[in-house]
Amino acid sequence: MSYLIRPKNYRPLLNMNETEQGIKEIKEFFQDNLATGLRLRRVTGPLFVLRGLGINDDLSGKERPVSFPIKDLGDAHAEVVHSLAKWKRLTLADYDVQPGYGIYTDMNAIRADEELGNLHSLYVDQWDWERAIRPEDRNIDFLKRMVRCIYSAMLRTEFLVCERFPQLTPSLPESITFIHAEELLQRYPNLSPKEREDAITREHGAVFIIGIGCPLSHGEPHDLRAPDYDDYSTPADNGLPGLNGDLLVWNEVLGRAFELSSMGIRVDKEALLRQLRDSGKEERCELYFHKRLLEGSLPLSVGGGIGQSRLCMLYLKKAHIGEIQASIWPEQMRHDCAEIGIPLI
C-alpha cells in the first residue's frame, strides 16, 4: 500500500533544471570521493542474473524478483537484481582484488514489491561497493573505520552542493554516532524499531545502528537481513552480536530518520553456516555462490550499498524520491503531490 508523507508548507528550493544539475554534480563528486577514500575501482555490474545460482540478493526474504525467460537458453529464467551484495564478492575473487582494495558499481534494480511513497520507488539506484579484507579486519573497529570514511565523503559532498546552490544550507553533524540495536532497544523499550530510529537520529543527526538482523533480547531483530551476506551473528568487541549495520541521518524536510546505506563485514564460512542454520535456509549450501564461499574460493570482504537518489534527496532538500528519479506512481499519489507542491518527474 502506498503512503505519502505530507510536509507542511513544502516548497522546492531548486527548480527542475537546477535539480538536474545538482543530481549530476552530486553523483560525480560523491562517487569519486568514495572510490578514493575506500580505494575502490569501478567495474560494470549486471542488471540481471540467472535464477538458481544464489547470486541475487534476497533482501528480507519476502520480496519477489522480477524475472523473465531467455529464449536462447532454453527459456531459463533470469532475475532482475535486488542488489549486488553477493555478485560483488564473486567479482572480487574473479578479478583477484587484494586486501585493502575493492570495487564499486552503479547498481540499478527493480523492486516490484516496494510500498511506494516518499522514500521508496519501484526503481532503485545505488552505489554498490565491496572491499577485500584480512582475517584480522573482521572486527567492529574496522567496520567503524569504513563507516567514518563513507560519512566523510558525505560531508564533503554536502559542502560542494551548498557552495553551488547558496539557497541550500548544510544539515549533517560533523561526526556520526554509533549505537548497537540492543542498546537502542534498552534506551527506548516502548517504541517500535522505526520510532527508535527516529528518536536516536533526531537527537544525534547521523547514526550508525549496529547489529541489523540479529535477534535482540526480546527475541526479534531490529530489522530483517538475508542470512548469507552480512555477518550479523558474530560477537563484536562489546559482546553484542553483529558486524554490520545501517547508516541513517535526520531528514529535516520529512521530519524522520532517513536510511542512506546498509553495509557490513560479510559472512565467513562459520558465520554463513550458523546463520543459514538459525534461519532454516540450510538448503542454500547447494547453490553456486554458497559452494564457492564454503570451499574457500571467495575472499573475506566488507561492503554495502549507498542510495543515489536518496543522497540527492537529502542534499537538494526534496520531499519525494520522485523529484529525483523517473518512476511509476499511483495516480492518487501524483494528484496529492501536485496539490501540495511536490513536482514529480
| H or E stretch covering 244 | strand 244-251
| H or E stretch covering 264 | strand 256-265
Helix axes of 16-38 and 308-315: crossing angle, nearest 10 degrees: 120
Specify whether 57 is catalytic: yes
Integer CA distances (angstroms), 259 to 43, 198, 236, 246, 256, in order: 25, 11, 23, 7, 10
DSSP track, 187-231: HSTTS-HHHHHHHHHHHHSEEEEE-TTSB-TTSSBSS---TTSB-
Specify whether 246 is catalytic: yes
Interatomic CA distance for residues 296 and 284, integer angstroms? 16
Which residue of the set 79, 158, 231, 246 is catalytic? 246
Which residue of the set 58, 83, 111, 131 is catalytic? 111
The β-bridge relationship of strands 102-110 and 123-132 is antiparallel
Which residue of the set 31, 83, 121, 126 is catalytic? 126
DSSP track, 35-87: HHHHTEEE-PPPSEEETTSS-S--TTS-PPPPEEEEGGGTTEEEEE-S--HHH
Which of these, 136, 37, 89, lies nearest to 266 by C-alpha position? 89
> What is the residue type of 268?
D
> What is the residue type of 311?
L
Which residue of the set 31, 121, 233, 262 is catalytic? 262
CB 16 within 8 A of CB 343: yes
- In angstroms, how far apart are the furthest CA atoms of the chain? 57
Integer CA distances (angstroms), 178 to 147, 205, 222, 259, in order: 10, 11, 15, 14
Specify whether 152 is catalytic: no
Which residue of the set 106, 223, 259, 336 is catalytic? 259
Which residue of the set 31, 57, 79, 196 is catalytic? 57
Specify whether 111 is catalytic: yes
| H or E stretch covering 276 | helix 269-278
Give me the active site residues, please.
57, 111, 126, 246, 259, 262
